Amino acid sequence: MQLFSYPPQTDWPALQQRAAAQQAQDIDERVQQIFEDVRQRGDAALLDYAQRFDGADLSGGLRVSLDELTAAAAQVPAGLQAAIRQAYANILRFHEAQVPQPEQVETMPGVHCWRRAVPVQRVGLYIPGGTAPLFSTLLMLGVPARLAACPEVVLCTPPQRDGSVNPVILFTAQLLGITTIIKAGGAQAVAALTGGTASVPAVDKIFGPGNRYVTAAKQLATRYGVAIDMPAGPSEVLVIADASANPAFVAADLLSQAEHGPDSQVILLSDSLSLLEATQAEVTRQLQQLPRAEVAAQALQESRAILLRTPEEMLYFSNQYAPEHLILAVENPEQLAEGVTSAGSVFLGHLTPEAAGDYASGTNHTLPTNGYARNYSGVSLDSFLKKITFQRLSTEGLRQVGPVVELMAEAEGLRAHARAITLRLESLGRSIEQNPR
Q: Which of 299, 297, 303 is nearest to 269 (CA)?
A: 303
The annotation status of 219 as a binding-site residue, yes or no, is no
* Set 236, 259, 324, 406: catalytic member: 324
The annotation status of 417 as a binding-site residue, yes or no, is yes
SS3 298: helix
CA distance linking residue 187 with residue 234, whole number of Å:
16
Structural contact between residues 179 and 170, judged by C-beta atoms closer than 8 angstroms: no
| Cα–Cα distances in angstroms (integers) from residue 143 to residues 177, 180, 182, 311, in the given order | 10, 16, 19, 37
The annotation status of 95 as a binding-site residue, yes or no, is no
Structural contact between residues 371 and 326, judged by C-beta atoms closer than 8 angstroms: no
SS3 151: coil
DSSP 20: P
Structural contact between residues 235 and 324, judged by C-beta atoms closer than 8 angstroms: yes
* Set 236, 302, 325, 365: catalytic member: 325
Catalytic annotation present for 106: no
The annotation status of 188 as a binding-site residue, yes or no, is yes
Which H helix or E strand runs over 79?
A: helix 78-96
Catalytic annotation present for 350: no
The annotation status of 358 as a binding-site residue, yes or no, is yes
CA distance linking residue 98 with residue 176, whole number of Å:
18
The annotation status of 40 as a binding-site residue, yes or no, is no
Pairing of strands 385-393, 111-119: antiparallel
DSSP 332: S
CA distance linking residue 4 with residue 268, whole number of Å:
10
The annotation status of 376 as a binding-site residue, yes or no, is no
The annotation status of 260 as a binding-site residue, yes or no, is yes
CA distance linking residue 106 with residue 128, whole number of Å:
48
Q: Which residues are catalytic?
A: 324-325
What residues form the annotated binding site for NAD(+)?
Answer: 126, 188, 211
Mark the binding-site residues, compressed into ranges: 126, 188, 211, 235, 257, 260, 325, 358, 412, 417
Q: Which residues are annotated as a binding site for Zn(2+)?
A: 257, 260, 358, 417
Known binding-site residues for substrate equal: 235, 257, 260, 325, 358, 412, 417
